[in-house]
Amino acid sequence: MFAKILIANRGEIACRVAATARQLGVKTVAVYSDADARARHVQACDEAVHVGGNAARDSYLRWERIIEAAHASGAQAIHPGYGFLSENAEFAQACADAGLVFIGPPARSIRDMGSKSAAKALMEKAGVPLVPGYHGQDNDPALLAREAGRIGYPVLIKASAGGGGRGMRRVDRAEDFAQALGSCQREAKASFGNEHVLVERYVTKPRHIEIQVFCDTQGHAVYLFERDCSVQRRHQKVLEEAPAPGMSAVRRAEMGEAAVAAARAVGYVGAGTVEFIAEELDDGDLRFYFMEMNTRLQVEHPVTEAITGHDLVEWQLRVACGEPLPVTQDQLQIRGHAIEARICAENPDANFLPATGRLDVARWPAHVAFVRSDELPRVDTGFLEGDNISPYYDSMIAKLIVWGADRQQALARLDAALAQTHLVGLHTNVAFLRRVVASRSFATAELDTALIERERPALFDAPGLPLPLATAGVAAHALAYEETLQDADPWSRRDGWRLYGGARRRFDLEVEGQHRTMTLERLHDGATVMVVDGARHGVSTRALGHDGYEVMLDGARHRLSVYCVGETVAVFAAGGSAKVGQFDPIAHAGDGAGAEGSLAAPMPGKVVSYLAKAGDTVKRGQVLAVMEAMKMEHTLHAPHDGVVAELLYAVGDQVAEGGALLRLEAAP
Q: Are 564 and 477 in contact (CB under 8 A)?
A: yes
List all residues 6 or more positions away from 410 whose beta carbon is below 8 Å from its beta carbon: 241, 336, 337, 338, 339, 402, 403, 404
Nearest-10 crossing angle of helices 249-265, 116-126: 110
Q: Are 166 and 631 in contact (CB under 8 A)?
A: yes
Q: Are 630 and 395 in contact (CB under 8 A)?
A: yes
Strands of 456-566 (E only): list them: 503-511, 514-522, 528-532, 535-545, 548-553, 556-565
Distance CA 56, CA 69 (A): 16
SS3 of 121-166: the string is: HHHHHHCCCECCEECCCCCCHHHHHHHHHHHCCCEEEEECCCCCCC
Q: Are 322 and 357 in contact (CB under 8 A)?
A: no
Distance CA 653, CA 635 (A): 16
CATH of domain 343-438+455-462: 3.30.470.20
Query: Within 13 A of 525's CA, how many CA atoms are on the CB side?
Result: 2
Tell the CATH topology of 4-103.
Rossmann fold (3.40.50)
> Domain coordinates of the chain in residue numbers?
4-103, 132-201, 205-335, 343-438+455-462, 467-582, 598-665
CATH of domain 598-665: 2.40.50.100
Q: What is the model's pLDDT at position 494?
A: 53
Distance CA 535, CA 278 (A): 54
Taking the chain (668 residues) in runs of 10, the rounded mean pLDDT of each run is 98 97 98 96 98 94 97 98 95 97 96 81 79 87 94 90 78 94 89 86 88 97 98 92 95 93 92 92 80 93 96 98 97 97 94 91 92 83 94 93 97 97 96 97 95 94 90 91 56 55 82 89 85 93 90 95 93 94 62 57 86 90 84 81 91 85 86
Residues annotated as catalytic are 296
Distance CA 541, CA 554 (A): 12
H or E segment and range at residue 402? strand 396-404
Q: What CATH number does domain 132-201 carry, 3.40.30.10, 3.30.1490.20, 1.10.730.10, 2.60.120.260?
A: 3.30.1490.20
Distance CA 623, CA 639 (A): 10
CATH 3.30.700.30 fits 467-582, yes or no: yes
3-state helix, strand, coil in the chain (%, to 5): 30, 35, 40
SS3 of 343-400: the string is: EECEEHHHCCEECCEECCEEECCCCECCCCCCCCCEEEECCCCCCEECCCCCCEEEEE
598-665 matches 132-201 in CATH topology: no
Torsion of CA 245, 164, 64, 272, to 10 degrees: 20
Q: What is the model's pLDDT at position 492?
A: 55
- The CATH class for the domain spanning 205-335 reads alpha beta
Distance CA 372, CA 307 (A): 9
- From the list 317, 462, 315, 341, the residue with the least C-alpha distance to 396 is 341
List phi, psi (to 5°) of 600. Answer: -95, 150
Q: What is the model's pLDDT at position 496?
A: 54
Q: How far is CA 42 from CA 227, 267, 298, 400, in A?
A: 31, 34, 21, 22
Nearest-10 crossing angle of helices 107-114, 116-126: 90
Q: Are 42 and 32 in contact (CB under 8 A)?
A: yes
